[in-house]
Structure 1
Amino acid sequence: MPEKLKNNRAIAMLDAAADGGYGVLGIVSYNLETIVAAVRAAERKRSPIQILLFPWAIHYANGLLVNLAADACRSASVPITLHMDHAQEEDIIVKAADMQTQGQNSFDSIMIDMSHYEKEENLAKTKKLVAHCHARGIATEAEPGRIEGGEDGVKDTAELEGLLTTPEEAQEFIDTGIDFLAPAFGNVHGNYYGVKNIKLDYPRLDSIHRKAKGQVRIVLHGTNEFPPDILQKCIKSGVTRINVNKLVLHKYNAYVEENTGKVPLTELMEKGTQLIQGLIEEHMDIIGSTGKA
């Protein structure tokens, strides 16, 4: 491990999860309500978490939302780290890596997502950007293969063929120096339109984990609609961080759609925050991180 990464909080958090056999939620956050809900849930359940922002957050608020999230992470009474997820442009990765909040790196980790390029160019760009992040003490993540679909704030890859990760390809990306690996094994971004349509290749995930063990940590994308048993099975197959979006936001989304303009804005925000917090706490119990902070 590079010297500058020895105190990286995101790496330490996922190392502890791997050693303890539990998962850590990576909570996709678009607004104040989600960030507040995540911190409250983590402190109430004494659970580590990672807050995830997309590059949209930098474009939208010129760093203000990043500063808010970074300060929330640093001031919490339990370990919380800030991750830039699906950074798909070189300039935004460099900008995120160079951002500072109160004299510290704003981000603990950054996903270098070059999966929209062909593999050789993906590998070359990933290696260069990993070096840039590591020089600043920031952990990195990459996606071997290509996970299909899209989410709010992420470039949709629907026009590109999904490519499942092989153990050999995983090693090629590990060799770029990354710290976290996000494999494609049947998981997709967005909706599955029913649990019956979730078709995960667990033997493939197991083989990737065997290849990655002792080198990098496995993280899981594309969890919309995943029931508890699937989440727990993924953890047994080596997953450490579980990215969640609609899995913890669906009640909030429905409430806001139903009540916007009907109740005071402050009530809308407070009730919405409570709905997100409740689902986060529920999933902390499911993936075993409760009490691990």
Structure 2
Amino acid sequence: MALLSTTSMLEKAKQDKHGIVAFNVHSFDSIFWVLEAAADLKSPVILQTTVGTVKSLGAKNIVEVAKAASEHFNIPTGLHLDHCTDFEVIKEAIRAGYTSVMIDASMHPFEENAARTKEVMNLAKSLGVNVEAELGKVGGVEDDIVVAEEDAEKAVPGECKQFVELTGVPTLAPAIGTAHGIYKGKPDIDFDRIAEIANLVDVPLVLHGGSAIPDEDVRRCVSLGMAKVNVSTELKNAYSAAIRKHFEQEPDSLDPRAYLQKAKEAAIDMAKSKIQMVGSEGRVVPSFV
């Protein structure tokens, strides 16, 4: 199965009132692990990579492996470049075959954020590539983008409406109180703000900082209009912990097939739990298979 634009995937999810998980993958192995979990649950899924992962593995290589895995598991799959501030990297990803890109200009004033988003839209729209933009500032660390807790800003609903109308962006990630990484305390999610934004814009919304948010809170976000739910830290922590445990228990067992099998099992379990959390299990329709 060819990689799909996430625009249609997320519009359908929004219409059907479920979410689609976008899993950050950091290795070629993890691409197959995520898609195996999605295939087992008959769920659409989005693979996404940071700029750091693109630089480490190569955009073309990531696309080819994602295509091969999608064809093997025959599951609707999108491939998204997350939190990119560099237009040249966005162009590289689109040329390589990414079906979705995020231009993160949220650190700039509204007008410049809109201008940079429109520049990416001009490149991506005619090619059927989805574009995601961010309003407000999501706290935490994502690759080399660091937003201190005191600098995080929630999106203004009226500005979200104006931004979508001005740029034509098909997916929007408004800052609503979540943060990248694992939370030190209870997430301060502004559900009323999500509802207000969703009532003002027609496009699917994106929940950043989806790791370690209580399941019931994520489901509430999805019910209010968050169609894409990003998960990164919990997934990589799960398979990294499995590898650490392997060497703690069997320090002389150095066969990669042994410790990667344990990493795979942990990753699949985590991915399945997140897919079930957003309600996308069993959503693969006959036209996809």
The two structures share one fold, judged by TM-score above 0.5: yes
- The alignment yields a C-alpha RMSD, in angstroms, of 1.9
Residue equivalent to 2:205: 218
Q: CA deviation at 1:14?
A: 1.0
SS at match of 2:145: coil
Moved more, 70-79 or 202-211: 70-79
Q: CA deviation at 1:277?
A: 0.5
Q: Distance in 1 between matches of 2:150 and 2:68?
A: 37
The reply on whether 1:201 has 2:220 as its aligned counterpart is no
List alignment gaps of at least 5 residues for structure 2. 285-289
- Of residues 69, 84, 87 in structure 1, which corresponds to 2:84? 87
Q: CA deviation at 1:27?
A: 0.5
Q: 1:257 to 1:90 in 2, by over 3 A?
A: same
The reply on whether 1:171 has 2:170 as its aligned counterpart is no
Q: CA deviation at 1:71?
A: 3.1
Asked whether the equivalents of residues 57 and 65 of structure 1 are also in contact (C-alpha less than 8 Å), the reply is: no
Q: CA deviation at 1:117?
A: 2.0
Q: CA deviation at 1:30?
A: 0.3
Residue equivalent to 1:3: none
Residue equivalent to 1:72: 69
Matches within 5 A, 1:225-236: 225-236=212-223
Asked whether the equivalents of residues 185 and 201 of structure 1 are also in contact (C-alpha less than 8 Å), the reply is: yes
The reply on whether 1:244 has 2:231 as its aligned counterpart is yes
Q: CA deviation at 1:246?
A: 2.3
Q: Distance in 2 between matches of 1:270 and 1:8?
A: 29
Matches within 5 A, 1:121-140: 121-140=112-131
Q: 1:186 to 1:159 in 2, by over 3 A?
A: closer
Q: Distance in 2 between matches of 1:274 and 1:291?
A: 21
TM-score normalised by the chain length of structure 1: 0.88
Q: 1:173 to 1:258 in 2, by over 3 A?
A: same
List alignment gaps of at least 5 residues for structure 1. 1-6, 100-105
Q: CA deviation at 1:252?
A: 1.3
TM-score normalised by the chain length of structure 2: 0.89
The one-letter amino acid of 1:282's match is S
Q: Distance in 2 between matches of 1:243 and 1:279?
A: 13
Percent identity, aligned pairs only?
Answer: 26
Residue equivalent to 1:4: none
Q: Distance in 1 between matches of 2:263 and 2:22?
A: 19
Q: How many residues align?
A: 276
SS at match of 2:139: coil
Post-superposition CA distance 1:51-103 (Å, at most 9, x none): 0111222211333234312432344312111111111111111111222xxxx
SS at match of 1:191: coil
SS at match of 1:143: strand
Q: 1:143 to 1:262 in 2, by over 3 A?
A: farther
Q: 1:74 to 1:171 in 2, by over 3 A?
A: farther
The one-letter amino acid of 1:129's match is V
